[in-house]
Amino acid sequence: MVETMSVVEDKWGLSESQRMIRDMVREFAIGKVEPRAKEIDQNCRFPTETFDEMAELGLMGLPIPEEYEGGGAEYLGYAITVEEIARVCASTALSLAAHTSLVCLPVYMFANDAQKQKYLPDIASGRKIGAYGLTEPNAGSDAGGTQTTAVKKGDKYILNGAKIFITNANYAQTFIATAVTEKDAGTKGISAFIFDRDTPGFSLGAKDEKLGMRGSDWGTLQFDNAEIPAENLLGEEGNGFKYFMQTLDSGRISIGALALGIAQGALDKAVQYSQERKQFGKSIADFQAIQFMLSDMATEIEAARHLVYNAARLKMAGMPFGKEASMAKLFASEVAMRAATNSIQIHGGYGYTKDFPVERYFRDAKLCEIGEGTSEIQRLVIARHILNT
């Protein structure tokens, strides 16, 4: 309450603790994350050292209560963290967001006490990294089309199937994933499980090479008669689809924040370059054509920030936020794509080279229109809310 009262003269209405998080993360992002961004992209290298440093700073489980070794921060502070890191390195922000929103949060929300005691402190502190297994070769946008099966045998569930495009797969020690426990029951036949990397019958398969987000790991989860103890069922049998959909509602705010950070970073680079680059005897920033592009980018970014922060605030207030999360993710992703495109345009031929970071922003931005639900799925979710269907 005191926190809310002490909202300071910040144009975004951030509380003191939210501003402290933003300033600390900005310093860390510029000092430690940005210098590695180009190299991890080029080498498709997951920056374990950055994740160790983020764990050290308490950034790996920011919205999880301190009793589970999380940061005890509000969701907006977490969203701003993702934004600030994405502003310099979207790959790092993506892996952080997948770990926090898609693993720490559902474990906090849906696990029983024993599971929380066992798993949450390690992931919320960042001692272990988490991965979330929903997508399958034949179940992407149609998440309810899950084909991985889980058959209960004695005190175990036996899982068979595969999950693809799973962020952090090769570096995670804690996984959550969905599987069908009751055939022909539709989404109500899907359950969720939490398990360790050394689960018998579980392995990591091949990973595809990516267009962007190349410093963020992804991979395939393979279940060949994988034996998951029955006590590792997350929540109740048959509720897995709903848990994973609710998880995506929150996750979409963080992908909105990620897109927002990319857009802001692309604008930062465009502003800097347009003031340095001289053509026709003056800085290109002196030309109206460039000024109009910068103005449009800045205006859209502010609108995206309002949407993202508003969705986070609704969640914090315990109000419905699914529609607003999808709106924030949809709009911010498309803003990021436009901002990255225009930033390259402003950089001209140099923008098309690997000597400048804007081509990376362009490749990374595209993921935001696809991951955690394509833009089409966001429009579908928004339409269902406004049509009440």
Kindly list the catalytic residues: 372
Cβ proximity to ligand COS: between 144 and 201 the closer is 144
Give the tokens for residue 64: 């999880």
Cβ of residue 242: shortest distance to ligand COS, in angstroms?
A: 4
Q: Which helix (H) or strand (E) holds 191?
A: strand 190-196
Write the DSSP assignment of 49-68 as a string of letters. Answer: HHHHHHHHTT-TTTTS-GGG
Cβ proximity to ligand COS: between 19 and 242 the closer is 242
Give the tokens for residue 11: 């144009």
In angstroms, the CA 351 to CA 273 distance is 10
Closest among 83, 101, 69, 23 to 315, alpha carbons compared: 101
Cβ of residue 98: shortest distance to ligand COS, in angstroms?
A: 7
**Cα separations in angstroms, 322 against 95, 252, 312, 383:** 22, 9, 10, 12
Q: If you search the block for the tokens 């794509």, which residue do you land on?
A: 337
Burial of 286 from C-beta contacts in 10 A (0-12 / 13-18 / 19+): middle
Cβ proximity to ligand COS: between 81 and 135 the closer is 135
**Cα separations in angstroms, 367 against 35, 160, 239, 256, 325:** 22, 28, 28, 11, 17
Cβ of residue 136: shortest distance to ligand COS, in angstroms?
A: 10
Q: By CB under 6 A, name the binding residues for ligand COS.
A: 134-135, 141-144, 187, 241-242, 245-246, 248-249, 322, 371-373, 377, 380-381
Cβ of residue 4: shortest distance to ligand COS, in angstroms?
A: 27
Cβ proximity to ligand COS: between 89 and 131 the closer is 131
Cβ proximity to ligand COS: between 121 and 145 the closer is 145
Write the DSSP assignment of 212-251 as a string of letters. Answer: S-TTS-EEEEEEEEEEEEGGGEESSTT-HHHHHHHHHHHH
Give the tokens for residue 32: 């430690």
Contact 271, 301 (CB under 8 A): no
Cβ of residue 276: shortest distance to ligand COS, in angstroms?
A: 38
Cβ proximity to ligand COS: between 41 and 369 the closer is 369
Cβ of residue 138: shortest distance to ligand COS, in angstroms?
A: 13
The three-class DSSP label of residue 165 is: strand
Q: If you search the block for the tokens 């402190």, which residue do you land on?
A: 121
Cβ of residue 101: shortest distance to ligand COS, in angstroms?
A: 10
Write the DSSP assignment of 246-264 as a string of letters. Answer: HHHHHHHHHHHHHHHHHHH
What single-letter DSSP state applies at residue 164? E
Cβ proximity to ligand COS: between 35 and 137 the closer is 137
